[in-house]
Structure 1
């Protein structure tokens, strides 16, 4: 039909055939170009789809990794907090134990201080008593040295040291203060024992401070044979 149209227009058959061939080639080229464009568009769409799938997968993967990281972080933080709480509890218990020990040591120190103060007071009291006894003993020795061999004076001197009151106990009438008794001297230089009348009076009775009995009599005596005061102690005197 195209050749007939060309013939009507005065185109020779050869030229018409050539023109038809060229037109067919152009149509084929156009068809090929259209198919290439379709293929290119399809390839581009596939690339876009693949990129979208990869991006979606990457996002999902990053989300999963982030969740796993957060979970592991929470586990680590929980473990660290538990360990820290355990160590803090142990430290608190140790601090409480040390505080209790310090309190016990402070209480012990207070008790020791009070005990030391008490013993210091006792020592001072004993020292004062020893000084008084030392002075009384020295005066008794001086009196015995001055009145050596005299009669009645020793009994009067003993009566000066008498402690009356609740310490007094009954004595025999012949041993009461004021009864004239001739004091005998022992070979050691001390007076005769007021208990057995044989031994030397070398023991000072307390609290009346009478130097009037020998050691055996002092061991069994309950009261001073001079003043009748109850005995609560004694001191042995060395005359050598």
Structure 2
């Protein structure tokens, strides 16, 4: 745009005005300078009104173009600053969220490790209890076998005892003379049951106490 303004002034044969800078504090009062304004006024007196109006229009167009360029630059700079600030805010928010996610992930990882350790401990305890149960089961089976054997031995001992007692009774009830038949005759007066019916007539004394037989009584065992 500055090139276009220079071209306009050169075509009209006018001296170039001093253009305002882009520094802060630029205003309409600084354009054009006092010397250029006097030169333009002196030239305007000698030129027709249409030419003066054309010059003023071109000067105004150049000024507006420069002003628009400055405004666009300022707006572009402000927009870039706003975009930069917004980008910083977004980056800060994203960093905060990323940090939170990393902390959550670390807590979840620690929790998973704790659960895995607890699960391993439970598995070890389960195996220990299982081994203990197997040992107790084996002990119980061994005790059961011993108990059965003890019962069998007790029955055998009881039967043996009964047999011995029966044998003792049979031996005590056997005839002391022939020792084969059961005693069924009671001698008097000693009252020993010590003879069978067949041997009793042959005995004159008791075969147990050797006392003289004065009489005998036949006994019927139920």
- TM-score by length of structure 2 reads 0.57
Listed one character per residue, the Cα deviations across residues 4-25 of structure 1 (whole Å, up to 9, x for unaligned) are: 88888xx51x323322221221
Task: Please identify, of 35-44 and 58-67, the stretch whose mean Cα deviation from structure 2 is larger.
Answer: 58-67
2:91 paired residue number: 56
Shift of the alpha carbon at 1:154? 7.3
Alpha-carbon distance in structure 2 between the residues aligned to 1:140 and 1:18: 175
Alpha-carbon distance in structure 2 between the residues aligned to 1:152 and 1:93: 84
Alignment of 1:1-240 (within 5 A): 2=14, 11-12=47-48, 14-136=49-171, 137=173, 139-142=181-184, 144-146=195-197, 147-148=199-200, 150-151=202-203, 184-185=212-213
Structure 2 residue runs without a partner (length 5+) = 1-12, 15-39, 175-180, 186-194
Q: Highest CA radius of gyration, 1 or 2?
A: 2
Shift of the alpha carbon at 1:72? 0.5
The higher relative CO (CA closer than 8 Å, separation ≥ 6) is in: 1
Change in 2 beyond 3 A, CA 1:66/1:111: same
Structure 1 residue runs without a partner (length 5+) = 159-180, 191-238
- Secondary structure of 2:203's aligned partner: coil
- TM-score by length of structure 1 reads 0.53
- Secondary structure of 2:200's aligned partner: coil
Contact 1:154 1:183 in 2 (8 A): yes
Contact 2:183 2:196 in 1 (8 A): yes
Alpha-carbon distance in structure 2 between the residues aligned to 1:188 and 1:95: 78
Alpha-carbon distance in structure 2 between the residues aligned to 1:183 and 1:22: 182
